[in-house]
């Protein structure tokens, strides 16, 4: 219920930001020009993403301000730093509560992320749908291995952040291109998931042989 409440709060707080015109107006009127504006935008978007701002909004904003290439780079950096902040807060403040009150779920999530952590984080980030905030909260609360999780997250963010940075920069990316890119990312995620499943089955089989 706490997680659901946080998600609902984040949705209400940032719903106006999903309007691209509102984003452009705020950036044009409020953001200083030059390096100071970049620093301010980095701080604002990073903090907002740490509490639920969709990554697509972040990428669009950076693309509008900094162009497609730099926008993609800076939005990926913003999203990764936000992931780290949420992860560290969840590990510090929620891990003990999660383990005590939801011990079975704690060990399930921890067990899921304890092996092939970077690859699993990469797969999750490739999928266009889903909540980064909720994923980071669960990963942090279950004390997921930190470095591989962040690495997989960083690499997995790149494709989608690039697409939305291009949109924010005003470079035409048609609906067909977005759909194809999303399908490709989902297919890659599915193939990698199948690989993990087969790898897990082989590991179990060898383990049973060792036991026998």
Tell me the C-alpha to C-alpha distance, in Å, between residue 172 and each of 68, 160, 161, 183: 11, 15, 15, 19
53 DSSP 8-state letter: -
- pLDDT score recorded for residue 162: 86
Q: State how far the Cα of 166 lies from the Cα of 158, in Å rounded to an integer.
A: 12
How large is the average pLDDT for residues 49-78? 87
| This model's pTM is above 0.75 | no
pLDDT band at 88 (very low <50, low <70, confident <90, very high): very high
Q: State how far the Cα of 37 lies from the Cα of 31, in Å rounded to an integer.
A: 5
pLDDT tens, residue by residue, 18-58 = 555 565 566 666 666 777 878 888 898 898 888 888 888 88
Identify which of 17-31, 137-151, 169-183 has the greatest average pLDDT: 137-151
Segment among 27-31, 33-37, 192-196, 199-203 with least mean pLDDT: 199-203
């Amino acid at each position: 219920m706490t997680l659901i409440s946080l998600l609902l709060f984040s949705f209400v707080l940032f719903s106006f930001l999903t309007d691209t015109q509102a984003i452009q107006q705020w950036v044009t009127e409020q953001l200083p020009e030059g390096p100071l504006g970049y620093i301010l935008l980095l701080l604002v978007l990073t903090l907002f993403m740490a509490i639920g701002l969709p990554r697509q909004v972040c990428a669009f904003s950076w693309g509008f301000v900094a162009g497609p290439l730099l926008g993609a780079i800076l939005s990926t950096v913003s999203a990764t730093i936000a992931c780290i902040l949420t992860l560290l807060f969840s590990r510090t403040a929620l891990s003990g509560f999660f383990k005590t009150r939801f011990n079975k779920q704690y060990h399930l999530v921890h067990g899921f992320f304890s092996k092939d952590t970077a690859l699993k984080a990469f797969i999750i980030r490739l999928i266009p749908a889903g909540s980064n905030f909720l994923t980071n909260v669960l990963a942090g609360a279950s004390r997921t291995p930190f470095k591989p999780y962040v690495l997989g997250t960083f690499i997995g963010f790149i494709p989608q952040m690039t697409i939305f940075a291009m949109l924010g920069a005003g470079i035409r990316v048609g609906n067909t291109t977005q759909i194809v890119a999303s399908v490709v990312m989902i297919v890659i995620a599915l193939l990698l998931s199948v690989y993990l499943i087969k790898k897990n089955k082989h590991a179990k089989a060898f383990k049973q042989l060792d036991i026998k």
